Amino acid sequence: MKPILTLFRLALIAAIVFPVDVLAQQPSILGKTDILALVDAAPGMPSSAAQAATRAYGPDIRMYEVPVNLDTLYVPFYSRVDAVLKQHRETATLRAKEGMPSQAQIEQQSRAQVNSNPIVAGMGGIDSLQQMTPAQREAAARQSAANFQQNLMTGGGRNSPGMQAMMQRVMSDPGYRARFMQMNEQEKEAELRGYMGNPAPRAPTPAEQRSQTKNDVATAMALRNELSQMTQRLGEIEVTFTKKDQEITVAKGSHREIANDIATRMEKVPIVELGEYGRDRDPNLVVPLLREEGARHRDRAAWELQQRTALFSQRKAQYKEQIAAYRVWFKQNEARINACKPDLMRGPNPELEVAGFEEGLIGLAQTLAKYSESATKDAAHYEKAYQASLTEYGAARSSRPTKSRN
């Protein structure tokens, strides 16, 4: 009885650890997205501080206090990229789910695997076994074992090509397995004898199967390492450009330096009597300082915008270079990616990791757009402040003095 129980347990283990593949119906999304087109479509930089102000506030920059007009340019693009990302993510996730058997499928496959065991099949299958008493199971097992032994002897032994071919087909072909399970005992015996009487190509040995599994894992690790190198390169690009952008901000003559200089000089403006408005710093000296401050900030903003426009172009070029390199890599490795899909027992699916990397590349389009939006807001703010210094402060100087808000 023990050999029969051992075969029974091995069948259960095989069914759970090596479930039959469930073919994914969802087509792969990998390599289908035109990422370069998205990057090219990202809103670019304004050509001047004046254009930045128009982009942010509309034709009349005095109408709004906040840059409400930017939404008309940037929000539609962000929505476009978000839609691409959503479709990409959902398709990849659905494909992964379709490629993984559900718990019900695993149980069904396990039951089919057990029933495909000749000893169990000879006893009527797992359902019949569950209805038997211990004595009936022992008797059925003895009879099935005897029949199986006889079949092995007449068919050339358990290692005959025909026997291995039938077992391989039962394990790998769901349609054939279903038909086999519908056969009665006589039909199953006839099927067994038919296979054992007809030599067929040798099935892979356990050692060969382990070797294939090892190769799959090695391929998955190699793909992951190559993705890691490309990810690291993108990270280096981000670090480099973030540092360069900060250097623009703090370069000599920065907005902070301008503000500190004007504040220091403003403190030296004498306080004078302003009649019914009380006492305040002399507006005849304050207004020129405020105008100077507005002009200097505007000039600085124009310089920074010029520097950031060059940085934007460099960043975009490097993004496109990395995307192009990935496309070449993907075409060279597409077959490896599709062929190598380790299960949960052997490691993650490389296809999912490639999909995640592609999502990161798609996100580069938004990164560019956000950089453009930030630079536009900054330049527009100083342009608006400059225009205000020419009108409000000019009017205040030509009429009676107004009380300072400082």
Q: Same domain, yes or no, for 229 and 358?
A: yes
267, pLDDT greater than 80:
yes
Q: Same domain, yes or no, for 221 and 288?
A: yes
Q: Alpha-carbon distance 72 to 55, whole Å?
A: 9
Q: Does a structural domain hold residue 235?
A: yes
Cross-strand bridge partners of residue 161: none
Contact yes or no for 363/38 (Cβ under 8 A): no
SS3 content of the chain, % helix, strand, coil (to 5): 75, 0, 20
> For 129-155, how does the pLDDT look when each residue is reduced to its tens digit (9 = 90+)?
777 787 777 777 777 767 766 665 554
At 271, give phi and psi (nearest 5°). -90, 135
> For 346-395, how does the pLDDT look when each residue is reduced to its tens digit (9 = 90+)?
455 788 889 999 999 999 999 999 999 999 999 999 999 999 888 855 44
Residue 189 is predicted with a pLDDT of 66
Q: Alpha-carbon distance 335 to 292, whole Å?
A: 65
Q: Where is pLDDT greater, at 338 or 335?
A: 335
Q: Same domain, yes or no, for 192 and 230?
A: no
CA distances from 150 to 146, 192, 296, 343 (A): 6, 11, 101, 38
Q: Same domain, yes or no, for 154 and 291?
A: no
Lowest-confidence pick of 15-19, 176-180, 261-265, 298-302:
15-19
Task: Tell me which DSSP letter residue 28 carries.
Answer: P
Q: Does a structural domain hold residue 16?
A: no
Contact yes or no for 340/219 (Cβ under 8 A): yes
Q: Same domain, yes or no, for 379 and 356?
A: yes
- Torsion of the alpha carbons at 33, 34, 35 and 38, rounded to the nearest 10: -120
Q: Alpha-carbon distance 55 to 49, whole Å?
A: 10
Q: Does a structural domain hold residue 130?
A: yes
Interval 275-303 mean pLDDT: 91
Axis-axis angle for helices 174-182, 161-172 (nearest 10): 100
Contact yes or no for 253/300 (Cβ under 8 A): yes
- For the chain, the distance separating the N- and C-terminal CA atoms, rounded to the nearest angstrom, is 98
Q: Same domain, yes or no, for 192 and 216?
A: no
Q: Same domain, yes or no, for 52 and 114?
A: no
Q: Same domain, yes or no, for 230 and 298?
A: yes
CA distances from 360 to 82, 122, 291, 311 (A): 12, 55, 45, 21
> For 68-80, how does the pLDDT look when each residue is reduced to its tens digit (9 = 90+)?
788 899 999 999 9
| Highest mean pLDDT: which range of 63-67, 154-158, 202-206 | 63-67
What percent of the chain has a predicted confidence (pLDDT) above 70?
A: 67
Q: Same domain, yes or no, for 211 and 191?
A: no
Q: Same domain, yes or no, for 109 and 86?
A: no
Q: Same domain, yes or no, for 291 and 390?
A: yes
CA-based torsion, 289, 293, 299, 303: positive or negative: positive
Interval 270-282 mean pLDDT: 86
Q: Alpha-carbon distance 181 to 108, whole Å?
A: 12
Q: Alpha-carbon distance 328 to 322, whole Å?
A: 10
Q: Same domain, yes or no, for 188 and 305?
A: no
Interval 125-132 mean pLDDT: 75
Q: State the DSSP string of 265-292.
A: HHHTSPEEE-GGG-EEE-HHHHHHHHHH
Residue 16 is predicted with a pLDDT of 37
Q: Alpha-carbon distance 170 to 192, whole Å?
A: 11
Q: Does a structural domain hold residue 406?
A: no
Contact yes or no for 144/136 (Cβ under 8 A): no
Q: Alpha-carbon distance 98 to 108, whole Å?
A: 16
Q: pLDDT band at residue 124, thresholds of 50, 70 and 90? A: confident
206, pLDDT greater than 70:
no
Of 152, 167, 196, which one is at a domain's C-terminal end?
196
Q: Does a structural domain hold residue 394?
A: yes
Q: Alpha-carbon distance 85 to 75, whole Å?
A: 15
Residue 186 is predicted with a pLDDT of 67
Number of residues written out for the chain? 406
Residue 332 is predicted with a pLDDT of 93
**Residue tagged 């409400």 (tokens):** 68
Tell me how crowded residue 133 is: count the other CB atoms within 10 A of its CB.
8
Q: Does a structural domain hold residue 41?
A: yes
Interval 74-101 mean pLDDT: 85
What percent of the chain has a predicted confidence (pLDDT) above 90?
A: 42
Of 146, 168, 196, which one is at a domain's C-terminal end?
196
Q: Does a structural domain hold residue 47?
A: yes
Q: Residue 117 is part of which domain span?
A: 2-10+103-196
Query: Number of structural domains, the chain?
Result: 2
**How high is the mean pLDDT of the chain?**
78
Residue 106 is predicted with a pLDDT of 54
Axis-axis angle for helices 49-57, 350-398 (nearest 10): 100
Contact yes or no for 121/188 (Cβ under 8 A): yes
Of 143, 175, 196, which one is at a domain's C-terminal end?
196
3, pLDDT greater than 70:
no
Residue 298 is predicted with a pLDDT of 96
